[in-house]
Structure 1
Amino acid sequence: MSQLRILEVAESLGSGVLGVVTPLSQRLAAAGHAVALAYGERPETPPDVEAVVGPGIELFALPWRRRTPREHVAAARMLRQVVDDWRPDVVHLHSSFTGVVGVLSVGDRAPIVYTPHGYSFARSSDARAKRRLYAAIERFVARRATLVGAVSESEAAQARDVARAPRVAVVANGIPALDAPGPAPDRERPRVVAMGRADASRQPDAAGRILARLTDVADVRWIGGGTDSDAGLRALAAHGVPATGWLSHADAAAELAAATALLHWSAWDAQPLAVLEALAADVVVVASDIPANREIVGARQVCSAEEDAVALLRGVLLDPALRERMLERQRERRGRFSADRMARDWEAIYVRLAGAAAADSREETGELVAH
C-alpha cells in the first residue's frame, strides 16, 4: 500500500472527536504514513496535545479559540497555509465548523473527506428555522467535499437525504479498548450511570428522572460535567443524581467500568463513544430508541419511553440471567467497533481518493502536454 501524507483537521479537539482522531492518527502513523493534525486551541483542547496524541504526528495549532467570524477567517488562512506548505495527499475534516472552514480553505488542493460527527440539523432542541439554516450549510459543505465519511448508517442516511451529499461512505467509529477487550472488573455493588456533557443532546432532565427511580436498588450518578449555563447539572441535582464533574478519560473510564449499567438517553447522536466504552467494559447498555443507538446495541436494548427504560434497568439489576444475556449480545456485536478496524477502513478510503486524484492530475498533465 502506498504511503500517504494525511492531514486530519479538528476545530474542537475534545470529547468524541478527540476519541476518534487520536487513535486514527496513531494507527495511520504506525502504518508508515506521514500524519499531521491541525486543531483549534479551544477551552476543551487538552493543554498538552502532543502528550495525548503521542509521537510521530506533526501538530499545527490553529488560532481558533472561539466561534467568531474573525477567528474563523484567521483559522481558514492558517489552514490554507498549512495545506500549501505541508502538501497533503488527503485532508479529513472532522465536525461541522471544521467542514465549512475546511472546504473553503482547502478547495481543490487535495481530496477532502468530511465527517460531521453528528449533523447540526439533527438537534431537535433547536428552532426549526435554525435547523433549516444548518441543513443549507451542510449541503454547501457536502457539495464541495470529495466524500462525506459518515460514522454510522443513520448519519449516512442524513447525508444523502438532507445534506444531499453526492458521495457518501460509512466508517463506524472504533475505540482502542475494543481492539482486545479484557475481562469485566469485579463490582462492589449495583450502580447505574449516565455520562457525557449534560446538555440537550443527553436529555439530563429525563435521564435524571429515570435514574432517580432506581435508587432503591442501585447507586446512581452522572459521569461528566455541564455546559456554560449548568442547566443540565441543576436538573440532575433536582432529581437527586450526583455528577462527578469533568474527569480525565482514564478516570471517566474507571467510573464507567465500575458500573453495572449505562443509561444513554440521547435525543440525537451520530455514533456515541460512551456506548462503545460501555461495551468494552462489559457494562450493560440501555439506550433511547434512536437509529444511532440501535445500530450499536440492537432493538432489544433501546426504549422509547422512560417507563420502559426504568423497567429494563430494574431487570438488569435484579435478574442476573437477563443481565448475562444482554452482555452476551453486546460481546457478539462489539468486535466491529475496534480502533484497528476503523483505521484500516479510513486508510483504504484515503488511498483510493489519493490514487484517483493522482490519476486525474496525470491525465490533466498529459492533456496539457498533448496540446
Structure 2
Amino acid sequence: MLHVVQPVTGGVPRVVLDLIQQHLTAPDAPRLLVACPEQGPLAGWVTAAGADWLRWDATRSPGTALPSEIRALARLIARTRPGLVHAHSAKAGLAARLALRGRVPTVFQPHAWSFEAVEGTAARLARRWEVGAARWASRIVCVSEAERATGEAAGVRGHWTVVPNGVDTDRFRPEPPAHDVLPRARRAPHDAPPALAGTDPRAPLVVCVARLCRQKGQDVLLRAWPEVVRRVPGARLALVGDGPDGERLRAGSPEGVIFAGAAEDPAPWYRAADLVVLPSRWEGMALAPLEAMACGRPVLLTDVAGARESLAPGHRAYCLVPPGDPAALARAAAGLLLDAPRRAALGAQGRRHVLTTHDVRQSARAVAAVYRDILGAERPKCRESTTS
C-alpha cells in the first residue's frame, strides 16, 4: 500500500498520518509506504509511526520539473510494487495518475479540487485535466458531499466515495475538568501557548489555525478585525500558521494581532481560544474546525464546501457567514464573543458532534473499506489475465 503525498504541510499530511496510524493497528495491517518530499514534517511522522518513507522530490505545484517527478515516482512504484496507490491532493494525484495510467489500482483524494485554487485559463486547464484523469482512478474519495458535487458539476465522472474527515478525539479534547472550576474569563488554560504570555487572559481570544495563504482567507479576517475590536474592546486575535502570504498579511495587519507561526500541536491554541475562526475561500472539509470542536470550542466558518457538513445540527445560523465578507464575519464574531452562554453551548454540542460523526477511527475504517472493495473487484481480473 503506497500513499503519494504532496503537499507535505497543512491538513493533508495530518490526514495521511492519522490514516497510517489507524491502519497500522489492524491485525492484518499491510506494509505501508509513503512517498513524499523530505521537506516538512510528514517524512519524520510516518517513520516514527512505523511506516516506510520513500523520498520523492516534488514541488507543491506543477512546474517544469513535473516530467522528472513523474519518472521518479514511476521508478519508486516499479521498485516497491504496491498493490494499491492512494494519491493525496492535486499535485500527487497528477503525478501518480500519469505515472500509472490505471495499471495499478489507484485511489485519488482531492482534498479540495485543483481548479478551485486558480482562475481563468489555469482553472479551465485544471478542470479539463480532472475530467480526463478520472478514468485512471479506481475510486475518487471526497471528504464531503459538497466536494463530490463540485467535481460532478465540473464534469468529473468517476466511482465516488465520500468519507468525511475525522480527528483524533483523544488528542483533541477539552481541558481537564480540574481546570474548569473558574470561569474562562478569569483564567488562562493550563497549557496556554507561550506566544500569549504578557497578554490579558481575561480578554476574549479569537484563534485562526491555518496555512497563511489566499485559500484560508486570513486577509478577510484582518479586514474584519477592527470592527470586532470596536464592538468587543480588548479582543485578541492570533493567527497560527505560516505560509506564502505571511509577509503580506503582517504588513497589512491591524495593531496587536499575534502572528504565532506554525504549531506542531495546535490543541493548546484551540483550548486557549474563546472562538476559532476559519474564513476560507474554498475547502473540501477543513480539519481545524473539527479539531476545535473536539476541544469543546465554538467555531465560525465561511460557507464553503464541507463547512455545513462539518457543523453540528442547528449551528449554521450562528457559525456560518458568506465567504469574502468582512462585515458579516465581524458581526458574527463579535456576536459570539459577547454571548458566553451560547459559546459554551456550541462548544459542548460541537464536541459531542465530532465524537459521533468525525472520529478518526470512523474515517480510517471507511477508507479501509474502500481499499477492500477495490482490491476485491480487481482480483477476478487478475485471475482472468493469468489464465488467458
Same fold (TM over 0.5): yes
Q: CA separation of 1:286/1:53 partners in 2, compared to 1, >3 Å: closer, same or farther?
A: farther
Summarize deviations over 1:164-185 as a string: whole Å, max 9, x none: 1221111111122367844466
CA shift, 1:276, in A, is 1.3
Q: Secondary structure at the match of 1:214?
A: helix
Find out whether 1:10 has 2:5 as its counterpart: yes
Summarize deviations over 1:262-304 as a string: whole Å, max 9, x none: 1111111111111111112111101112232111125221012
CA shift, 1:98, in A, is 0.9
Q: CA separation of 1:310/1:108 partners in 2, compared to 1, >3 Å: closer, same or farther?
A: closer
Work out the CA distance in 2 between the residues paired with 1:66 and 1:127.
18
Partner of 1:327 in structure 2?
A: 347
CA shift, 1:364, in A, is 2.8
**Residues 304-319 of structure 1: pairs in structure 2 closer than 5 A:** 304=322, 305-319=325-339
Work out the CA distance in 2 between the residues paired with 1:169 and 1:39.
24
Q: Secondary structure at the match of 1:177?
A: coil
Find out whether 1:221 has 2:215 as its counterpart: no
Summarize deviations over 1:24-78 as a string: whole Å, max 9, x none: 0121122122211111234xx22x8235552421110112257565532232223
**Residues 33-48 of structure 1: pairs in structure 2 closer than 5 A:** 33-42=30-39, 45-46=40-41
Q: Which runs of 5+ in 1 are unaligned?
A: 1-5
**Structure 1 outlier segments of 4+, above 4 Å:** 65-70, 182-187
Work out the CA distance in 2 between the residues paired with 1:296 and 1:148.
20
2:276–2:292 contact (8 Å) kept in structure 1: yes
Find out whether 1:339 has 2:353 as its counterpart: no
Count of matched residue positions in the alignment of Structure 1 and Structure 2 = 354
2:280–2:301 contact (8 Å) kept in structure 1: yes
Q: CA separation of 1:163/1:93 partners in 2, compared to 1, >3 Å: closer, same or farther?
A: farther
CA shift, 1:311, in A, is 2.9
**Residues 111-190 of structure 1: pairs in structure 2 closer than 5 A:** 111-123=105-117, 126-177=118-169, 181-183=173-175, 187=184, 188=188, 189=202, 190=204
Work out the CA distance in 2 between the residues paired with 1:339 and 1:75.
31
TM-score where L is the length of structure 2: 0.84
AA at the equivalent of 1:15 = G
Q: CA separation of 1:214/1:38 partners in 2, compared to 1, >3 Å: closer, same or farther?
A: same
Q: CA separation of 1:288/1:152 partners in 2, compared to 1, >3 Å: closer, same or farther?
A: same
**Structure 1, 173-182 or 162-171: larger mean CA deviation:** 173-182
Q: Secondary structure at the match of 1:98?
A: helix
Partner of 2:208 in structure 1?
A: 194
**Residues 52-63 of structure 1: pairs in structure 2 closer than 5 A:** 53-63=47-57
**Residues 83-98 of structure 1: pairs in structure 2 closer than 5 A:** 83-98=77-92
Work out the CA distance in 2 between the residues paired with 1:232 and 1:355.
49
Summarize deviations over 1:69-126 as a string: whole Å, max 9, x none: 5532232223222222222221100011111110111233321000111112123xx4
Q: CA separation of 1:284/1:136 partners in 2, compared to 1, >3 Å: closer, same or farther?
A: same
Work out the CA distance in 1 between the residues paired with 2:342 and 2:60.
47
**Residues 145-294 of structure 1: pairs in structure 2 closer than 5 A:** 145-177=137-169, 181-183=173-175, 187=184, 188=188, 189=202, 190-215=204-229, 216-227=233-244, 230-235=247-252, 237-238=253-254, 240-247=256-263, 249-250=264-265, 252-294=266-308
Partner of 1:3 in structure 2?
A: none
**Residues 64-103 of structure 1: pairs in structure 2 closer than 5 A:** 64-65=58-59, 67=61, 69=63, 71-103=65-97
Work out the CA distance in 1 between the residues paired with 2:173 and 2:238.
25
**Structure 1, 299-308 or 15-24: larger mean CA deviation:** 299-308
CA shift, 1:361, in A, is 1.0
RMSD across aligned C-alpha pairs, in angstroms?
2.3
Q: CA separation of 1:14/1:180 partners in 2, compared to 1, >3 Å: closer, same or farther?
A: closer
Q: Which runs of 5+ in 2 are unaligned?
A: 189-201
1:201–1:268 contact (8 Å) kept in structure 2: yes
CA shift, 1:129, in A, is 2.1
Work out the CA distance in 2 between the residues paired with 1:171 and 1:92.
14
The one of 58, 77, 99 aligned to 1:105: 99
Q: CA separation of 1:33/1:180 partners in 2, compared to 1, >3 Å: closer, same or farther?
A: farther
CA shift, 1:138, in A, is 1.4
Work out the CA distance in 2 between the residues paired with 1:208 and 1:27.
38
**Structure 1, 216-225 or 92-101: larger mean CA deviation:** 216-225
Identity %: 26
1:160–1:168 contact (8 Å) kept in structure 2: no
Q: Secondary structure at the match of 1:76?
A: helix
AA at the equivalent of 1:295 = E
Q: Secondary structure at the match of 1:34?
A: coil
Find out whether 1:354 has 2:375 as its counterpart: yes
AA at the equivalent of 1:260 = D
1:226–1:245 contact (8 Å) kept in structure 2: no
Q: Secondary structure at the match of 1:346?
A: helix
